[in-house]
């Protein structure tokens, strides 16, 4: 096999494995928590659920730029292979957590998932850079398009695989990674080689600490903003959340100050002078911000409301939620490589922009659906969303990576992926805050009315109406009817007919469905605005530009963009700021 195709196949395997791991755990959480014997709706357990969900993403968001810089210095192939090995270790450790180990088991799972995140981060940050090194600019878009398919497809495959495997044994969710990780490790060791010159400079310790610390604190602030504080259903007013945002912001400002003055910066901020890199990353951030939590809310919509209403047992909803989301994967797979090939020929701007507009349109169409929707309308909208994502992802990635000088591709890829992961983390906090805020205003009366309509005594109807909104939302996702945890002495007051209705698959979905849809629609409206801003940023990214080749809209020329790029400082020894000669 020609070396460039070896690189593409191997990095696609790594991307597929890493992205499957992110969603396979998400969709399997109900089974995992039942296996560990944890009730996530019990007081204090909600934060455990959040850490299992978001711990992986926080590690990725924090370390990717550092990993990229380390790869530039010590070799991308070497650290990419190390990523496979670390990921394998994390998967093995996660697969041997004992059943019924409670909170201790959940803490072990959080820690081992973070080990996986370190390995996954090394894979993610280096796969794009390795492909960019291996393919010339005339084929790079197609190659990156195929690679991007692995990430998105893996996310959706994870939903289906998680549903299948978790229904048998939740340990299989982690065991399934091991053979692929071992094969990828061996293949990397024996087949991949270092093709670019390593940048032999010392690490920027101060920059690493400032960036890592800032991103950790910002991510923690957004994570704990989802935890109820005092009488509020959210934690935005918590002193710890406010302190995290304040100190994190100061550290990020300090990072910029350090990078503009240190001799060998962790990340060359002057790269943001390159138009394609700057606007491409901003558009990527807006894309992640707009889609991150929305897709998770759609999963809750399917698992907690629509599927139970149509007779699917809670144990089977993870699998069927993945099946219902297949059109999104089909759309992305169909348009991902096409978007990449068109980018090679015509440039990224028009396709990335049109892709974002299509995504915004699909989000608007979702706002028109009732909670008990027509399945064909839903599937067509998801297909449209996948088509838009496919048109955006490969052109955007190609434009950003083409704009970078070879010696900065590792750190540049790390920055690009960091924008994506931070966007998704912030997205989770923003859209859950919007959804739960609106949800909490409508939910009590909806629960009370639905409870009274099936003939429940006033005492029990009032108790059900007082279920915390965040607990109700995650109970729906995890397939738990909160009424099932009521004391038997209370339930004994309910007539057999009313009790049967209360414990049925349809009671809770019907009770929360209308309130959930109002919160979801407000979230979708904000996501539409964010996505359209991303479309504008994509339009501003300029014509086709390849670092050192001077292409503009498909024609070779000495453009002003080349002149700007020639002024971007390198990471070689220097006498000025930021490595500028």
CATH code for position 385: 1.20.1250.20
Whose tokens are 């959340």? That residue is 241
The pLDDT value recorded for residue 48 is 78
For the chain, what's the residue count?
581
Structure tokens at 154: 């893996």
- Asked whether residue 573 is assigned to any structural domain, the reply reads no
267-309 confidence digits (pLDDT tens): 778 888 888 888 988 998 998 888 776 777 888 888 888 988 8
- Asked whether residue 300 is assigned to any structural domain, the reply reads yes
- Asked whether residue 387 is assigned to any structural domain, the reply reads yes
- List the domain range (segments joined by +) for residue 166: 3-203+266-439+514-563
d(CA 84, CA 91): 11
464-522 confidence digits (pLDDT tens): 888 777 777 777 777 777 777 677 777 777 888 888 888 888 888 888 888 888 888 88
- Asked whether residue 569 is assigned to any structural domain, the reply reads no
Looking at the structure, tell me whether residues 378 and 434 fall in a common domain: yes
Q: Write down the mean pLDDT value for the chain.
A: 80
Cβ atoms of 292 and 428 within 8 Å: the answer is yes
- Asked whether residue 508 is assigned to any structural domain, the reply reads yes
Looking at the structure, tell me whether residues 72 and 181 fall in a common domain: yes
340-381 confidence digits (pLDDT tens): 777 777 777 888 899 999 999 999 999 999 999 999 999 999
d(CA 34, CA 331): 34
Number of folded domains that form the chain: 3
| Stronger pLDDT, 252 or 339, i.e. the higher one | 252
- Angle at which helices 46-74 and 76-95 cross, to 10°: 150
- Asked which of 249, 265, 281 is the last residue of a domain, the reply is 265
404-454 confidence digits (pLDDT tens): 887 777 777 777 777 887 887 788 778 877 877 887 788 888 888 888 888
- Asked which of 213, 236, 265 is the last residue of a domain, the reply is 265
Question: How would DSSP label each residue in 304-363?
Answer: IIIHHHTT--TTTHHHHHHHHTHHHHHHHHHHHHHHHHHHHHH-SHHHHHHHHHHHHHHH
Looking at the structure, tell me whether residues 520 and 491 fall in a common domain: no
pTM > 0.85: yes or no: no
Instruction: Name the strand (E) or helix (H) holding 89.
Output: helix 76-95
Looking at the structure, tell me whether residues 451 and 359 fall in a common domain: no
- Asked whether residue 429 is assigned to any structural domain, the reply reads yes
Looking at the structure, tell me whether residues 175 and 238 fall in a common domain: no
Looking at the structure, tell me whether residues 102 and 117 fall in a common domain: yes
Looking at the structure, tell me whether residues 432 and 539 fall in a common domain: yes
194-230 confidence digits (pLDDT tens): 666 666 767 778 888 888 888 888 888 887 887 777 7
Residue 293 phi, psi (nearest 5): -85, -25
The pLDDT value recorded for residue 57 is 77
- Asked which of 248, 265, 282 is the last residue of a domain, the reply is 265
Is pLDDT of 565 > 80? no
Looking at the structure, tell me whether residues 356 and 453 fall in a common domain: no
Looking at the structure, tell me whether residues 136 and 257 fall in a common domain: no
Looking at the structure, tell me whether residues 300 and 449 fall in a common domain: no
Looking at the structure, tell me whether residues 457 and 552 fall in a common domain: no
- Asked whether residue 581 is assigned to any structural domain, the reply reads no
Looking at the structure, tell me whether residues 170 and 233 fall in a common domain: no
- Asked whether residue 217 is assigned to any structural domain, the reply reads yes
């Amino acid at each position: 096999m020609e070396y460039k195709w070896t690189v593409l196949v191997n990095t696609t395997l790594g991307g597929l494995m890493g992205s499957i791991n992110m969603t396979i755990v998400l969709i399997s959480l109900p089974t995992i928590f039942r296996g560990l014997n944890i009730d996530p709706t019990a007081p204090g357990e909600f934060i455990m659920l959040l850490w299992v969900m978001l711990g992986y993403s926080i590690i990725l968001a924090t370390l990717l730029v550092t990993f990229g810089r380390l790869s530039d210095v010590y070799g991308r192939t070497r650290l990419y292979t190390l990523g496979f090995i670390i990921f394998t270790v994390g998967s093995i450790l996660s697969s041997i957590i004992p059943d019924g180990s409670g909170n201790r088991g959940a803490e072990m799972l959080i820690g081992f998932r973070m080990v996986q995140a370190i390995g996954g981060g090394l894979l993610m940050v280096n796969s794009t850079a390795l492909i960019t090194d291996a393919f010339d600019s005339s084929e790079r878009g197609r190659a990156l398009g195929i690679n991007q398919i692995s990430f998105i497809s893996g996310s959706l495959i994870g939903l289906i695989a998680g549903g299948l495997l978790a229904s048998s044994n939740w340990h299989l969710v982690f065991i399934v990674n091991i053979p692929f990780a071992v094969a990828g490790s061996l293949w990397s060791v024996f087949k991949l080689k270092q093709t670019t010159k390593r940048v032999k400079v010392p690490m920027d310790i101060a920059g690493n600490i400032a960036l890592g610390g800032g991103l950790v604190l910002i991510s923690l602030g957004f994570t704990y903003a989802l935890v109820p504080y005092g009488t509020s259903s959210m934690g935005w007013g918590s002193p710890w959340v406010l302190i995290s945002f304040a100190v994190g912001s100061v550290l990020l400002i300090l990072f910029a100050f350090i990078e503009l003055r240190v001799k060998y910066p962790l990340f060359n901020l002057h790269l943001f002078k390159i138009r394609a890199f700057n606007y491409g990353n901003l558009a990527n951030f807006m894309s992640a911000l707009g889609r991150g939590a929305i897709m998770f809310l759609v999963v809750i919509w399917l698992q907690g409301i629509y599927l139970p209403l149509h007779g699917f047992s809670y144990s089977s909803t993870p699998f069927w939620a993945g099946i219902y989301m297949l059109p999104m994967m089909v759309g992305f797979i169909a348009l991902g490589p096409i978007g990449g090939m068109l980018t090679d020929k015509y440039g990224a701007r028009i396709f990335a922009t049109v892709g974002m507009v299509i995504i915004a349109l699909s989000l608007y169409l979702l706002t028109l659906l009732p909670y008990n929707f027509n399945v064909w309308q839903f599937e067509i909208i998801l297909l449209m969303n996948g088509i838009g994502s496919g048109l955006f992802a490969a052109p955007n990635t190609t434009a950003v990576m083409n704009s970078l000088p070879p010696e900065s591709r590792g750190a540049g890829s790390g920055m690009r992926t960091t924008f994506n992961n931070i966007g998704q983390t912030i997205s989770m906090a923003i859209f859950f805050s919007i959804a739960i805020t609106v949800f909490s205003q409508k939910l009590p009366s909806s629960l009370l009315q639905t409870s009274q309509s099936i003939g429940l005594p006033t005492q029990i109807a009032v108790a059900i109406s007082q279920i915390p909104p965040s607990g109700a939302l995650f109970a729906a996702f995890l397939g738990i009817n909160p009424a099932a945890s009521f004391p038997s002495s209370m339930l004994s007051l309910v007539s057999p007919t009313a009790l049967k209705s209360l414990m049925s698959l349809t009671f809770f979905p019907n009770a929360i469905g209308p309130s959930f849809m109002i919160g979801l629609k407000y979230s979708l409206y904000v996501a539409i605005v964010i996505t359209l801003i991303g479309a504008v940023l994509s339009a501003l990214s300029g014509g086709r530009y390849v670092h050192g080749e001077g292409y503009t809209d498909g024609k070779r020329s000495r453009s002003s963009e080349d002149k700007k790029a020639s002024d971007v400082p390198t990471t070689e020894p220097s006498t000025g700021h930021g490595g500028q000669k």
